[in-house]
C-alpha cells in the first residue's frame, strides 16, 4: 500500500505529471500546426488544462496515491483485449484528432466576420484570408 509521502507515491506523482505534460504538449503542437492562426482562447484552454492536471495529480497524491500509481500501469489485471484496444484507440483519437479538428478551421471566425454586415456593429477584419 502506498502512503502519501512515500518514495513510491512521489515517483508515481512525478511520472503522472510528466505523462500529462507530454500529452498536453503534443496536443498543443498538433493544434498550432493545424490552426496556423492562434488567438488568446487556445492559450486559455491549454493553460486551464495544465492547471487542471496539476491540481488533479496533487489531489490524487493527497487522497489516494494507490490510484495514482495504478493509472500508470499499461496492462491491468483482468482486462479483456478488446477493452485494452478500445482504450488505446480512444486515447489516440483524443490526443490527435481533437486538436486537429479544433485547429482545422482556424480562420473560420475571421471569415464569418467578413460576411457580417457592418451595420450590426462588428468591425470587419483588415487581414485578407489566406
Going residue by residue through the chain, which has 130 residues, state the pLDDT in tens, using 9 for 90 and above. Answer: 556 556 777 888 888 888 888 888 888 888 877 776 677 878 888 888 899 989 988 898 888 888 888 777 777 677 788 877 887 788 788 777 777 777 766 566 566 666 666 666 555 556 555 5
E-state strands within 52-128? none
- Residue 13's CB is within 10 A of a number of other CB atoms, namely 19
Angstrom distance (rounded) from CA 15 to CA 79: 23
Terminal alpha carbon distance of the chain: 58
Task: Give the three cell numbers for residue 13.
Answer: 506523482
Please answer whether residues 68 and 3 qualify as being in contact, where contact means their C-beta atoms are separated by less than 8 angstroms.
no
Amino acid at each position: 500500500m502506498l502512503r502519501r509521502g512515500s518514495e513510491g507515491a512521489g515517483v508515481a506523482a512525478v511520472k503522472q505529471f510528466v505523462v500529462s505534460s507530454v500529452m498536453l504538449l503534443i496536443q498543443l503542437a498538433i493544434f498550432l500546426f493545424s490552426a496556423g492562426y492562434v488567438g488568446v482562447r487556445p492559450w486559455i484552454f491549454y493553460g486551464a488544462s495544465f492547471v487542471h492536471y496539476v491540481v488533479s495529480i496533487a489531489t490524487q497524491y493527497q487522497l489516494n496515491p494507490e490510484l495514482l500509481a495504478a493509472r500508470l500501469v499499461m496492462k491491468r489485471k483482468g482486462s479483456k483485449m478488446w477493452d485494452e484496444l478500445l482504450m488505446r484507440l480512444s486515447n489516440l483519437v483524443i490526443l490527435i484528432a481533437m486538436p486537429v479538428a479544433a485547429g482545422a478551421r482556424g480562420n473560420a471566425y475571421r471569415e464569418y466576420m467578413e460576411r457580417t454586415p457592418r451595420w450590426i456593429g462588428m468591425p470587419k477584419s483588415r487581414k485578407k484570408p489566406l
